Amino acid sequence: MTKRPADIRSLARAFTDISIETLGGYVTQPATDPEIRIRAIGMLLDRGWGKPEQATTNEIKGELNIIMRKVFDDGSDVGGEGT
């Protein structure tokens, strides 16, 4: 079986305009189920503005380590891990 991601991608992109119009229709129709409207809004915003960045586990551990150092104010490496 041969891979054809470029062809599939191209075919899918051909439906971009109608897909956006359809999602917009769900957003603007008051009769649409509120849950569907909210999901459509989220999809449109994600595609138009990008998804918000999410911190990685290492970033969170590093921030927590810095906070703990400030709390204990001794500069030690809390948990024995470096940042």
Cβ atoms of 20 and 44 within 8 Å: the answer is yes
Q: What gap in Å lies between CA 7 and CA 56, rounded to an integer?
A: 33
Global confidence as pTM = 0.53
pLDDT digits (tens, 9 = 90+) for 25-81: 999 999 999 999 999 999 999 999 988 777 778 877 788 888 878 777 765 555 555
pLDDT band at 14 (very low <50, low <70, confident <90, very high): very high
pLDDT digits (tens, 9 = 90+) for 20-32: 999 999 999 999 9
Cβ atoms of 27 and 41 within 8 Å: the answer is yes
